[in-house]
Amino acid sequence: MSLINVVDVEATCWDGQPPPGQVSEIIEIGLTVVDLDGGTRLAKHRILVRPQRSRVSAFCTELTSLTQDEVDDGVSFREACQAMARDHHTNRLPWASWGDYDRNQFTRQCEHTGAEYPFSGDHTNAKLRFTEAMDLRRRPGMAAALTIAGLPLEGRHHRGDDDSWNIAALVLHLRSRNAW
């Protein structure tokens, strides 16, 4: 078995600039475990994260369906990082995300909070890999990439667990084309 973790995060966001004193923070981590050799998505996981320096805006709730009450019941960012390393071996296994946003957000938030970066250095930007493999001029969003690949969008777009599941389908699509 050749395992890879596919990760997608949702973060606090606003329609425009953040309110004074607030910054974008991870509020949901979606992680799908993929067996590249077997060509299957093995498991989908979700971790809610309690923000420390921001609040969930109405815009963010409309986009993600996540509410402040929901994320208030989440774990701290540090606990989320520890859980991923402990339960999903994110510090040892290769991982992928759609673009570099997720990787950069983790880097920024780890630097600010002092949490240990939970991932191995073996990261693949699946959006870039898809763009190159499909010989596209522009890098598509995840939903557009699913359409290009002829795959369905499963679940709710802009939810970490569902988006990681869909990105994993794109990873497996690339693998089936010998492009991963």
Q: How many domains does the chain have?
A: 1
The amino acid present at 4, given as its one-letter code, is: I
pLDDT for 98: 98
Query: Are residues 170 and 20 in contact, defined by beta-carbon separation less than 8 angstroms?
Result: no
The pLDDT of residue 59 is: 98
Which domain does 58 fall in, by range?
Answer: 3-176
What's the CATH code of the domain at 113? 3.30.420.10
Query: What's residue 14's pLDDT?
Result: 98
pLDDT tens digit at each of 180 positions of the chain: 899 999 999 999 999 999 999 999 999 999 999 999 999 999 999 999 999 999 999 999 999 999 999 999 999 999 999 999 999 999 999 999 999 999 999 999 999 999 999 999 999 999 999 999 999 999 999 999 999 999 999 999 999 999 999 999 999 999 999 999
Structure tokens at 142: 């995840």
Please give the model's pTM, rounded to 2 decimal places. Answer: 0.97
Q: Where does 37-157 have alpha helices with state H?
A: 58-64, 68-72, 77-88, 101-113, 126-133, 142-149
Distance between CA atoms of 117 and 121, rounded to whole angstroms? 10
What is the spatial distance between Cα 144 and Cα 93, in angstroms, rounded to a whole number? Answer: 28
| Amino acid 1: pLDDT | 81
Under a CB-based contact definition with an 8 Å cutoff, are residues 155 and 147 in contact? no
What does the alpha-carbon distance between residue 19 and residue 73 come to, in Å, rounded to a whole number? 23
**Nearest to residue 132, comparing CAs of 143, 120, 145, 121?**
145
